[in-house]
Homo-oligomer: A and B are copies of this chain.
Amino acid sequence: MTITLAYLGPQGTFTEAALLRMPISQGATLIPAQSVNAALELVRAGQAAGALVPIENSVEGSVATTLDELSHGEILEIVDEIAIPVEFGLLVRPGTTFADIERIATHPHAHAQCLEWLRANLPGVHVLPAMSTAAAAAELVEGANYDAAICSTAAATHYGLEILADGIGDNDVAWTRFVLVRKPGQSQPSTGHDKTTLSLFMHQDHPGALLEILTEFAVRGVNLTRIESRPTKKQLGDYFFSIDCEGHIDDERVGEALMGLHRICADVKFLGSYPRTDVGNSPIKAEVTDKAFQEADVWLAAMRERQN
Seen from chain A, the residues whose Cβ lies within 8 Å of a Cβ on chain B are 34-37, 56-57, 62-65, 77, 83, 108-109, 111-112, 115, 127-131, 135, 171, 173-175, 177, 184-187, 189, 205-208, 210-211, 214-216, 218-221, 223-229, 231, 233-237, 239, 249-250, 255-256, 258-260, 262-264, 268, 270, 272-273, 278, 280, 282, 287-288, 292-293, 295-297, 299-300, 303-304, 306-308
Name the contact of A300 in the complex, choosing from B36, B215, B258 (C-beta under 8 A): B258
| A-B complex: 6 closest residue pairs judged by Cβ atoms | A129-B131, A259-B296, A207-B223, A262-B296, A175-B236, A263-B287
CB of A249 within 8 A of CB of B215, answer no
Given contacts A130-B129, A260-B219, A263-B296, contact A229 B228 (CB under 8 A): yes
Which residues of the partner chain B approach A287 to less than 8 Å between Cβ atoms? 263-264
Q: A112: shortest Cβ distance to chain B, in Å? A: 6
CA–CA, A221 and B249, complex, Å: 23
With CB as the reference atom, state the residue of chain B lying closest to A238: B280
Name the contact of A219 in the complex, choosing from B57, B112, B215, B307 (C-beta under 8 A): B215
Name the contact of A108 in the complex, choosing from B131, B224, B293 (C-beta under 8 A): B131
CA–CA, A223 and B287, complex, Å: 22
Which residues of the partner chain B approach A63 to less than 8 Å between Cβ atoms? 64
With CB as the reference atom, state the residue of chain B lying closest to A268: B299
CB of A288 within 8 A of CB of B263, answer yes
CB of A249 within 8 A of CB of B304, answer yes
CA–CA, A177 and B239, complex, Å: 14
CB of B224 within 8 A of CB of A210, answer yes
Q: A74: shortest Cβ distance to chain B, in Å? A: 13
Which residues of the partner chain B approach A187 to less than 8 Å between Cβ atoms? 307-308
CB of B255 within 8 A of CB of A62, answer no
Which residues of the partner chain B approach A218 to less than 8 Å between Cβ atoms? 207-208, 211, 215
Q: A174-B233, A215-B218, A263-B295 given; name 17 further pairs at CB < 8 Å.
A: A36-B112, A62-B109, A62-B112, A63-B64, A64-B64, A173-B234, A173-B235, A184-B306, A205-B280, A207-B282, A225-B237, A227-B229, A237-B280, A250-B304, A260-B296, A263-B292, A270-B303
